[in-house]
Homo-oligomer: A and B are copies of this chain.
Amino acid sequence: MNILVAQSGGPSSVINATLSGIIKGYQNNAIPGKLLGSLNGIQGVIDRNIIDLTETFTDSDSLNLLAKTPAMYLGSCRYKLDESNTKDYQQIFYVLTLLDIECFIYIGGNDSMDTIHKLCVYGESIESKIQFIGLPKTIDNDIAVTDHTPGFGSAAKFVSSTILNIAHDAFVYNSPSITLVETMGRNAGWLTAAASLSRNDYFHGPDMIFLPEVEFSMTTFINSIKEKLQQKKNLIIVVSEGIKDSKGQYICQQASKWSVDSFGHTKLTGAAKILESQLKSHFDFRIRSIELNVLQRCYMHMASQTDLDEAQRLGVESIHVALEGLSGIMLAFNRLSTSHYAVDIIPVPLKDVANHEKKIPRSWINDAGNHVQEDCIDYLLPLIQGEVELEYRLGVPKYVDIKHLQ
């Protein structure tokens, strides 16, 4: 059975762990045929930019190194399949047929699940036998049906640990201060909510957390800060890049150039910077903003072992369902228990996944809309457990070679 794998969407710390799981699963099952990788997602299929994965990763050492390498070994793309343009579909199926591919596995986020779903539907329309399997990954945790997504736990661990480090930094001066921290998260606030996991015996976590799920009001924001300052001198406030005002307009949009990527998403930057400048006109003390930026999605040093293990399991399991002949499905996590955390992996129809965005339920956010409830923290906590041990060479981490992407 010849299988083709590709990665798409934004990087994460564990998307290569899923790839390593696929290779492991393929090797363990001693499948006759080839396991191929398309470089730069679906673009690599169109351009016939294909590599042989079984030849590159022949021993467990190289597979382990791959699993602990951030971002995407196969590269990514932001290529949107247009249903009205059948030329792309024809070219993709031409290449898949030419390479004698029986199963195409696509690892990605919401947009990628949409892509693989479209390919599956097109395949059915031309009575193709090729199987299509989607594997979720996104640091945003916004894919529907699955309990959570690989990549999120590691990003959440980065966010929570970083907030704790920032708190230690923020408390050194004996004068008032406000520290604004901006996390990624366009429409879903999962990563922002993960800031709450920074709490411990002496630090209660961020004073406020602002999510895209709740309408943001500048007046309420300023007033609640005034109130908090009566109890303590150093405030730490975490905001999502995607907070919106009552008209549904992004706060960051008020200053930055409005630009749209190829999926029609607004490119966001600077919500915290805008709040910083607003606060500076109200308060006469130290106010600073910190944008966690792309570090959230590539900080392998802070990967969650739970996340990495699950990402790899997903890869291994995809080979099983491929061998079972399944198609048009995504593998999802089904949480069995939170108190004694356990998940199993189940296939779900791609049509239930594609183009749905999972947001934080309103009941998991406090009434004031500026913090999360304990239910949310209970849900998040298991996902950041465990630390990944990295190898080092000359003081920096040793990763798998990515010369082919440069």
Contact = CB atoms under 8 A, between A and B. Distances in A.
Interface of A: 11, 39-40, 43, 69-72, 75-78, 157, 160-162, 164-166, 168-169, 171-174, 197-198, 200-203, 232-234, 288, 290-291, 293-295, 297-302, 304, 381, 384-387, 390, 392-399, 401-403, 405-406
A395 B291 CA distance: 22
27 contacts: A70-B169, A71-B165, A71-B169, A72-B172, A75-B171, A77-B173, A160-B396, A162-B299, A165-B295, A165-B298, A165-B397, A168-B399, A169-B294, A169-B297, A169-B298, A171-B405, A171-B406, A197-B394, A200-B398, A200-B399, A202-B402, A202-B403, A234-B406, A288-B294, A295-B295, A384-B395, A387-B392
B173 A395 contact: no
A302 B300 CA distance: 11
Residue from the set A43, A198, A397, A401 with the largest chain B CB neighbour count within 10 Å: A397
A108 B207 CA distance: 30
A174 B297 contact: no
A295 B290 contact: yes
B294 A291 contact: no
Contacts of A198: 396
B76 A401 contact: no
Contacts of A162: 295, 299
B171 A71 contact: yes
Contacts of A43: 174
A73 to B, nearest CB: 9
B77 A396 contact: no
Given A201-B401, A298-B166, A71 B172 contact: yes
- Copy number in this complex? 2
Contacts of A302: 301
A75 B161 contact: no
B71 A300 contact: no
A197 B397 CA distance: 11
B290 A294 contact: yes
Contacts of A294: 166, 169, 288, 290
Contacts of A166: 294-295, 298
Given A393-B200, A397-B164, A173 B40 contact: yes
A39 B197 contact: no
A405 B197 CA distance: 21
A315 to B, nearest CB: 18
Given A40-B174, A76-B172, A291-B291, A165 B395 contact: no
A262 B270 CA distance: 28
A52 to B, nearest CB: 19
A193 B386 CA distance: 33
Contacts of A290: 293-295
Given A39-B174, A174-B75, A299-B165, A395 B157 contact: yes
A396 B200 contact: yes
A300 B169 CA distance: 11
B160 A405 contact: no
Contacts of A392: 387
A78 B172 CA distance: 11
